[in-house]
Structure 1
Amino acid sequence: MQITSKELESVAAVEAPRFDMYTGIHKALRAFMADTLLAVGRMDPLDEDEVAQASGRVLDLLAACAGHLRHENDFVHAAIEARAPGASAAIGHEHEDHVKHIAQLSDLVVVLRAAAPQARAAAAARLYRELALFIAGNFEHMHVEETAHNAVLWARYTDAELVGVHDALVASIEPQEMMAIARWLVPFQNPQDRFHLLADMRAKAPAPAFQAVMDLVQPLLTTKEWSKLTGALGIAAVPGLVAG
């Protein structure tokens, strides 16, 4: 199935905001990707600790990307295909390419860590360039999902149905993975989206899980951002009192 220009135009023309499963998590991934690329670029290839830390961040990013692909395939693409057969095919093939690229990048991390000192700079440069290409492709890929795929979903699902798909996806994520992505998901939203994200989490997640996320992200927010968030949530803006 082809996604029509009329459906794409509906993304920009929609009068009221629709439920968007893509943009929030994509902001998190873009931030994670950019931060990791910068870390690899400034890494000293002759410093064992820096190599270990930067390459470890690459592996963490790749794990997050692999998990994200699985979640989209299992829930979002399944929803698209249920009502618009073939509409996720192009992006689905790109997902297959991303899986291969993730494996290649993982191999380059192994090469970097095993390289002799005199070969370390070349191995670091190759990892940096391949990671940059992976990120560039992902940025374009995410744009298509946020426009074309949202157009398909919004034309065929109500917001309540989309929330159901999203909640099922989130419920499938293990706590450790959820905490790892929350570190990037919460800080890099705008204040309004950050509030809605945390308000929804407080309503649906166990209180200790909500508290753990708040404790995690507080040091990652500016004083002003934290004040806006706690004020909007109606909770005390001091550590240890956010669950009230």
Structure 2
Amino acid sequence: MPKVDLYRNVHMGQRMRLFSLAAELGAADMAQPDAIAEQVHRVLAMTEELREHADTEDTFIHVLLRDRAPEAADALDAEHLRLDAAFAVLDDRARALPGTSAGQLREAQHELYLALNEVISAYLVHLYLEETVAMPALWQKASDDELAGIFSAFQASRTPEQAVTDLQKMLPALPPATRLAIARSVTNAAGEEYAGEMLLKISRTLSASQRSRLYADLGVSEAWALPEA
């Protein structure tokens, strides 16, 4: 039976969306209507999400980590402080962008792009530390039941809408077998009456090819999940 990994899937989703944000911000045509507001919103939404993610880890994972592997917890605490400072710089640059003159906009866009990439580079190190230091420490120091309990407690803390959003953010970044296992679990939990509706919701952010593969792996047609006319 696979080990309970509290970081892997959500981190894969974060990496995918951070890389996409950086590429799209760098290439954005700021002369288009609402382009500046859109990019600023996306950057600020991402830093807010990453802060909330850190709070979630502190609440559900790092309490146990501090008890069983305090050295690893101390290292993560230091990382969070460093990241908070980088987030603040990025937020300031994003909020300043709408007030930039047309002549300075190109350079300001690139400076925001560089600040975002600085955050990404620091955040990748943080993710790697959690995945290669914190998680192995928990595997060694905590039981499978304790780790499963953490995951269950987190799931119980989410509203149905938040749970769907979590999956929509994560599933496109996962390999087909992992995506299938998650989709099967959540549709089974939804019950026969709501399984199609749930599948439609969680597959909304998948590419056409990913969605077709998922439905094929589940053995259902894409029309099966659509609401009746």
Which of the five TM-score ranges fits, normalised by the shorter chain?
0.7 to 0.9
The CA RMSD over aligned residues, in Å, is 2.5
What displacement does 1:129 show? 0.3
2:30 to 25, 45, 48: 45
Matches of 2:201 and 2:17, distance apart in 1? 19
User: Structure 2 counterpart of 1:59, which letter?
Assistant: L
Question: Does structure 1 conserve the Cα–Cα contact (< 8 Å) formed by 2:200 and 2:225?
Answer: no
Counterpart for residue 222 of structure 1: 208
Contact map agreement 1:183 1:216 (CA 8 A) in 2: yes
Residue 136 (structure 1) aligned with residue 121 (structure 2): yes
The corresponding residue for 1:163 is 148
How far did residue 31 of structure 1 move?
0.6
Aligned residue-pair number:
226
One-letter identity of the residue aligned with 2:211: W
Instruction: Say whether 1:187 aligns with 2:172.
Output: yes
CA distances 1:117-158 after superposition (whole Å, capped 9, x unpaired):
222222211110010010011112111111111111111223
CA distance in 2, matches of 1:210, 1:75: 31
Mean CA deviation greater in 105-114 or 192-201:
192-201
Does the 8 A contact of 1:112 with 1:120 survive in 2? yes
Cα distance in 2 between the residues matched to 1:166 and 1:62: 23
Aligned to 1:121: 106
Q: Deviations over 1:213-240 (max 9, x none)?
A: 63352462333x3344234445443253
Q: Tell me the residue number matched to 2:135.
A: 150
The yes-or-no answer on 1:17 pairing with 2:19 is: no
- TM-score between both structures, scaled by the size of structure 2: 0.86
Question: Could you tell me whether the CA contact under 8 Å between 2:97 and 2:109 is conserved in 1?
Answer: yes
Match of 1:200 among 180, 185, 192: 185
1:68-147 paired onto structure 2 within 5 Å = 68-147=53-132
Q: With structure 1 as the length reference, what TM-score do the two structures score?
A: 0.81
Gaps of 5+ in 2: none
CA change 1:163–1:202 in 2 (3 A) is: farther
1:54 aligns with 2:43: no
Which sections of structure 1, spanning at least 5 residues, go unmatched? 1-15
Stretches of 4+ moved more than 4 A in 1? 174-177, 203-210
Q: Secondary structure at the match of 2:72?
A: coil
Q: Identity of paired residues, percent?
A: 25
Cα displacement (A) at 1:205:
5.7
Distance 1:120 1:128 in 2: 12
Residue 225 of structure 2 aligns with an amino acid whose one-letter code is G
